[in-house]
A and B are shown apart, each in its own frame.
Chain A
């Protein structure tokens, strides 16, 4: 039963999966992707993992103040990054999306500038680490307030429709975010407007310590779409190709006028919630160890091996190459030095009003 076209049905009972645990292709269609693309996905997943490890190291050595580890989310994030049209579509990410913004092309030096709070951060080191953004790449700067970016994603998508730009807005968030009022307000409005937006939940089944069963009585996240009259796709976010094809399908639908959809990508959170969290207080080490057995990189490696596209030597070379890039970008970000403190009064408004000029002058005198 081979499908001619790649398409997906919403509201499946089980998560949509294209590669099984052993790396076998189990889809009813041919993926049709060239070897370079398949290998590129692996490279981006590996880069995301190594970036995560580097960020953990920066925390351990006291060089940064905060991180939200994304290990376990790599397949979902790389799948999303490749499904959207880079620099054309808009991305409304959240704080755990460092692997996603990296795969989308946000330069590493900007990522480290933001992480270290140096002048290499295009956002002028005003926010905590893990809050990237890029005007150039249409990446809407992350806001810590959970789900506050959902209505803005809807608004941007309404604009895309009004102005017929052919763009789609992609908006990512965690499972906890779906409890906020803003989440429901944004999804409902988008549905009514048939706005070209794809809402994607990276469901790791935890919101800090709160388990998904305390978060929602819905059978899963995707099913919430039914209430708003839009399709909800339930997919395995540990499977990079399932993530890619399902999100690509949702984007195609949005781009051709079929309106918004909700995609749930089920992932694991291998780390604590953040560098400020101790997850041993609320989840057992046995549960975590079992999840780590389902490493998305390992599953995809098995798939590539079966396609004759993976060998240890290639992977090692790749690892060294990425490690070098990471270190070089880190050094460059460090070299940029501290931002000028007097810049703190810029960007509150388009033009600086008298009271802020007064405050800037006082601080300048103090620092002189």
Chain B
């Protein structure tokens, strides 16, 4: 089985889907001749031509809005937004058009499209190359939201997103693009949207996270294991709709829940998971659930590393849960 980075897994998924279905096409800034600023679409314009891989003018509204029209007309567009931070000029198209098309037409029109975007911090990107805006998307009914953390998941979930009949926002933590390599099948497989993965079984506490911080969460779990504390680690993978069943089963078993996310803490997905577990498992919990998140500030350049959940912060919160 070939060894791939997340970038290679994206290339492979896009290539297979374009090869399989001629309705699949790509559009975005610099995705053609340059192959994208992160090279996720490298070689695809050469292979499939400039009609199916379009270097667009610099307008996210044009990219996302045109994807809505293409999708409604029968294509399967995959739009790339250069950084999640730059989706905002296209938000009206994503929220008013893509998200609500099925609903406002009573199911007559649909927008089966994917909007890919690099997300998250840790690359010295300052305000506008570091944000994690998934909560905005999850808070907009009609959008599915995937946040990947491994090359294997990336390929299987991106292919599933392209075949999904709803608009899917597909978020790729840019600091993991080349950080992790693993075996990824060279041929066809799909992973279900909406299903979490248990990365590590455990009985003492439940660690729930997704995207970039999965690296720190797993390191923290390993350190705990060295001290004979067994954390169950859950990677949500999809944050809308998120896998409540898997999280509740684990939290019911361990009685202790810690949710980790690098997005700002207030009104976050971490808050949503904690609220749901508190509502449904109140009398089975051994300690109040906790969150470790990014700070409620714009993402600052100088504090690039301090801003995000660190292994130490995760361990300290776990300790509070265990000593409650």
Contacts and interface: CB of A to CB of B under 8 A. Distances in A.
Interface of A: 65-66, 117, 124-128, 131, 143-148, 176-177, 179-182, 207-210, 214-216, 276-277, 281-282, 338-339, 341, 344-345, 348, 355-356, 359, 363, 366
B129 A208 contact: no
Contact of A128 (B60, B62, B124): B124
B266 interface: yes
Contacts of B55: 209-210, 214
B37 A348 contact: no
Contacts of A345: 295, 297
Given A66-B124, A143-B128, A180-B89, A207 B29 contact: yes
Contacts of B189: none
A256 to B, nearest CB: 34
B296 A127 contact: no
B37 A276 contact: yes
A144 B127 contact: yes
A146 B58 contact: yes
Contacts of A124: 302
A320 B118 CA distance: 44
B86 A145 contact: yes
Contact of A216 (B57, B312, B313): B57
A127 to B, nearest CB: 5
Nearest to A146: B58
Interface in B135-171: none
From A146, A207, A348, A366, name the one whose CB has the most chain B CB atoms within 10 angstroms: A146
Contacts of B89: 145, 147-148, 180-182
Given A181-B59, A215-B57, A126 B301 contact: yes
B301 A344 contact: no
A121 B146 CA distance: 37
B63 to A, nearest CB: 10
B140 to A, nearest CB: 19
Contacts of A282: 33-34
B34 A209 contact: yes
Given A131-B126, A359-B295, A208 B29 contact: yes
A208 B34 contact: yes
B35 interface: yes
Contact of A341 (B88, B125, B302): B302
B241 interface: no
A180 B59 contact: yes
Contacts of B58: 146, 176-177, 179-180, 207, 210, 215
B300 to A, nearest CB: 5
The 7 tightest CB contacts between A and B, nearest first, are: A144-B128, A209-B34, A179-B57, A125-B302, A128-B126, A176-B58, A65-B124
